[in-house]
């Protein structure tokens, strides 16, 4: 099933931009709080048979100086909370009103529009250029007004058809306040422990209360003049709807305090009349305004009747004091005029209407949520990047798996190789030795051949260790029967061209009758040459079964190879071996001075006369040891 994203997006935007009153649940009771003079006006209203009715009214004095300014709502949270506590009322949801002095009102004529969200977008666009502060610091709401019949309807655009082929322009009354003003009223409600459900306009609330007290205000154009201690409000109602509002400041102390007292003196009446005339001229400057046919004066100063007469005589219009035409409260017998509580009454009654407050700055009408294609593209790019990353992660996991298997194979080879590490090192040492021999140009095998020919027979001397160093020297460890054998050996080696250092001869008797041990260091000159053809090598003795048996039964000393254990060639035959019963226990058989490197020497065992068999092992530095 195909998914229509455009339809879903349009429906979601329409639901989000639906009027605020239709989104919230229908209220059956509400409490309005308003600051009037030095008092907190509390009005509770409830729906009775589908009609909103005032059920309770109370006026609580505020704990602050009498000359404090209350018309701007500048009251602290503790003072507000204390006054509400003294009223003995525990309200649920409350509504409050913003004074006219803190609100900027504009009447705007807009192109035809069908949806409320579209009108909100046009209002924001028009007011953005006129605001003295940033749009993000402003809270904007509006109310749609009836367009004057004198304004000609503009032709309908082809893509926006209107009724009977014509489109009617839209006129709205827009209200703008700073966001910190809304936050101030929210803090007051929080300090009092109540929930702020709406924030309307005091001027619009007074107009709604005037309709409740005098039904004739819904007919024609009526001016509502509200006199306070320091200001006078001039509101114009056309068919019951507020279309114009202006506030004028009065001189400080021009009027007496609230309550019974003497009438206004003449300068105060003149001051109020002057501000009313100024406001009237401002209203007449509005395009397509309606002429005022009636003036209603309200206030709590006690001079409202005299002001009504002055307005009637100077302006030539019907002027009278607003009086209730019937019971305005279920809890009141009309003993006291409710004119000082008009804003609170209007807020309470307006909040219970099906559409809610006409202008609600706490829940303003908002422009439609624009479909951001750039955002969609960004999400698509992010999704593509995630897909690439997932693919890369899959490939990486596959590659890592292959490398892990290869690593396991290598680890297995390493484990197997570690078991044969000694053999590998032995072969590597031999290879390094051969490489060194090849680089230095020394044929050590020729020198071994020469030494095999020059050394005395094995009955007088045998080699226990033989090694070569990088300094072109040969080190021999020998066992001899007597010191004269060493002297003859040194003379023979020097005559052959070797540089021999005087050896250290130490007594070391072994089981074969050799009484001394000597260490010889032979230096090999660079110019020495080995003529193997001129060597005189003794012939091997003939094979004798008795000698073979003796050699098999007795260990034969062997000479060690150089540091890398390279197998040495068998030397020429030595002098005949003594018989098996030879004295001093000499090694039987003919054994060369340089012992052969046959594999049999590694495990050859011998026995002493009446002793246990012995194992001979190769030394790390070369040679053999028992």
Q: Pick the last residue of a domain from 351, 375, 396.
A: 351
Do 34 and 176 lie in one domain? The reply is: yes
Tens digits of per-residue pLDDT, 32-61? Answer: 888 877 788 888 888 887 788 888 888 888
**Residue 495 CB contacts under 8 Å (≥ 6 apart), including other chains:** none
Q: Is 403 left (phi over 0), alpha (psi -120 to 50) or beta?
A: alpha
Provide mean pLDDT across the span 287-308.
83
Q: What is the C-alpha separation between 327 and 338, in angstroms, rounded?
A: 11
Distances (CA, A) of 491 to 332, 483, 564: 149, 13, 29
Whether 614 has a pLDDT exceeding 70, the answer reads: no
Q: Pick the last residue of a domain from 316, 351, 386.
A: 351
Backbone angles phi, psi at 467, to 5 degrees: -145, 155
Q: Is 219 left (phi over 0), alpha (psi -120 to 50) or beta?
A: beta
595 part of a folded domain: yes
Side-by-side strand order, sheet with 195-201? 51-61, 39-48, 29-36, 93-98, 195-201
89 part of a folded domain: yes
Provide mean pLDDT across the span 447-458.
85
**Token pair of 73 as six digits:** 């709502």
Q: In the chain, how many domains are there?
A: 2
- Helices (H) and strands (E) counted in the chain, each on its own, are 15, 24
499 part of a folded domain: yes
Backbone angles phi, psi at 318, to 5 degrees: -70, 125
Tens digits of per-residue pLDDT, 398-450? Answer: 999 999 999 999 999 888 888 888 888 888 888 887 787 777 666 777 888 88
Q: What is the C-alpha separation between 532 and 445, in angstroms, rounded?
A: 11
Do 70 and 191 lie in one domain? The reply is: yes
- Cβ–Cβ < 8 Å for 244, 283: yes
List Cβ<8 Å contacts ≥24 apart for 280-286: 280/223, 280/234, 280/315, 282/244, 282/246, 283/234, 283/236, 283/244, 283/246, 286/107, 286/244
Q: What is the C-alpha separation between 302 and 243, in angstroms, rounded?
A: 28
Tens digits of per-residue pLDDT, 59-110? Answer: 888 876 555 554 444 677 788 888 888 887 777 889 999 998 899 999 888 8
- Cβ–Cβ < 8 Å for 351, 26: no
369 part of a folded domain: no
Do 446 and 347 lie in one domain? The reply is: no
pLDDT at 591: 38
Q: Pick the last residue of a domain from 333, 351, 369.
A: 351
CATH number, domain containing residue 102: 3.30.420.380
Q: In terms of pTM, does the model score above 0.75? A: no
CATH number, domain containing residue 614: 3.30.1360.100
- Cβ–Cβ < 8 Å for 127, 106: yes
**Token pair of 611 as six digits:** 């002793």
- Cβ–Cβ < 8 Å for 46, 53: yes
Q: Within a 10 A sphere around the Cβ of 242, how many other Cβ atoms?
A: 24
Do 227 and 84 lie in one domain? The reply is: yes
Do 131 and 272 lie in one domain? The reply is: yes
248 part of a folded domain: yes
214 part of a folded domain: yes
- Cβ–Cβ < 8 Å for 589, 626: no
228 part of a folded domain: yes
Do 339 and 455 lie in one domain? The reply is: no
Do 342 and 465 lie in one domain? The reply is: no
**Token pair of 250 as six digits:** 């009065």
185 CB-side CA count, 13 A: 28
What does R_g of the chain's alpha carbons equal in angstroms?
61
Provide mean pLDDT across the span 148-163.
46
pLDDT at 547: 53
3-state DSSP call for residue 225? strand
- Which band of pLDDT confidence, cut at 50, 70 and 90, is reported for residue 112? confident
Q: Residue 272 sits in which domain range?
A: 19-148+168-256+263-351
426 part of a folded domain: no
Q: What is the C-alpha separation between 35 and 42, in angstroms, rounded?
A: 9
**Higher per-residue pLDDT: 6 or 338:** 338
């Amino acid at each position: 099933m195909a998914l229509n994203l455009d339809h879903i997006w349009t429906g979601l935007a329409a639901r989000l931009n639906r009027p605020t009153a239709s989104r919230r649940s229908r209220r059956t009771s509400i409490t309005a709080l308003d600051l009037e003079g030095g008092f907190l006006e509390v009005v509770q209203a409830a729906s009775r048979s589908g009609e909103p009715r005032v059920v309770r009214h109370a006026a609580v004095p505020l704990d602050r100086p009498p000359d404090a300014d209350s018309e701007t709502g500048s009251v602290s949270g503790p003072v507000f909370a204390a006054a509400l506590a003294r009223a003995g009322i525990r309200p649920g949801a409350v509504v409050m009103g913003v004074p006219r002095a803190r609100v900027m009102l504009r009447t705007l004529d807009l192109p035809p529009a069908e949806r409320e969200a579209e009108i909100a977008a046009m209002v924001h666009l028009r007011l953005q250029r006129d605001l003295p502060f940033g749009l993000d610091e402003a809270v904007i709401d509006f109310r749609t007004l009836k367009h004057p019949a004198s304004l000609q309807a503009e032709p309908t655009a082809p893509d926006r058809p209107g009724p009977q082929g014509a489109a009617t322009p839209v006129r709205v009354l827009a209200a703008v306040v700073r966001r910190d003003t809304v936050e101030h009223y929210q803090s007051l409600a929080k300090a009092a422990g109540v929930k702020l459900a709406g924030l309307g306009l005091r001027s619009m609330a007074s107009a709604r209360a005037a309709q409740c007290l005098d039904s004739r205000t819904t007919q024609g154009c009526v001016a509502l003049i509200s006199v306070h201690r320091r200001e006078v409000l001039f509101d114009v109602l056309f068919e019951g709807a507020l279309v114009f509002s202006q506030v004028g400041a009065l001189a400080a102390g021009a009027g007496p305090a609230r309550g019974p007292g003497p009438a206004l003196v003449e300068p105060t009446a003149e001051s109020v009349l002057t501000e009313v005339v100024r406001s009237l001229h401002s209203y007449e400057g509005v395009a397509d305004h309606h002429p005022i046919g009636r003036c209603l004066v309200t206030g709590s100063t006690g001079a409202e009747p005299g002001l009504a007469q002055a307005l009637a005589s100077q302006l030539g219009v019907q002027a009278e004091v607003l009086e209730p035409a019937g019971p305005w409260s279920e809890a009141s017998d009309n003993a006291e005029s409710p004119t000082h509580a008009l804003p609170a009454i209007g807020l309470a009654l307006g909040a219970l209407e099906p559409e809610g407050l006409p202008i609600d700055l706490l829940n303003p009408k908002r422009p439609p949520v624009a479909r951001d294609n750039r955002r969609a593209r960004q999400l698509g790019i992010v999704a593509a990047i995630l897909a690439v990353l997932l693919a890369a992660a899959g490939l990486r996991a596959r590659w890592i798996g292959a490398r892990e298997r290869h690593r396991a194979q290598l680890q297995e080879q390493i484990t197997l190789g570690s078991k044969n590490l000694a053999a590998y090192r032995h072969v590597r040492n031999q290879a390094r030795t051969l490489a060194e021999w090849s680089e230095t140009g020394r044929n050590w095998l020729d020198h071994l051949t020469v030494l095999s020919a020059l050394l005395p027979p094995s009955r007088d001397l045998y080699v226990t260790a033989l090694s070569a160093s990088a300094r072109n020297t040969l080190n021999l460890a020998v066992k001899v029967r007597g010191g004269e054998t060493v002297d003859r050996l040194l003379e023979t080696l020097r005559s052959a061209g070797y540089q021999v250092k005087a050896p250290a001869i130490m007594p070391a008797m072994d089981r074969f009758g050799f009484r001394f041990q000597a260490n010889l260091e032979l230096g090999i000159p660079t110019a020495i040459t080995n003529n193997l053809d001129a060597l005189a090598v003794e012939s091997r003795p003939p094979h004798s079964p008795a000698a073979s048996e003796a050699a098999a039964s007795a260990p034969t000393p062997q000479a060690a190879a150089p540091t890398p254990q390279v197998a040495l060639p068998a030397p020429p035959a030595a002098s005949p071996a003594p018989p098996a019963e030879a004295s001093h226990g000499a090694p039987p058989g003919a054994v060369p001075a340089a012992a052969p490197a046959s594999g049999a020497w590694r495990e050859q065992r011998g026995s002493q006369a009446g002793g246990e068999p012995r194992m001979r092992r190769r030394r790390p530095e070369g040679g053999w040891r028992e």
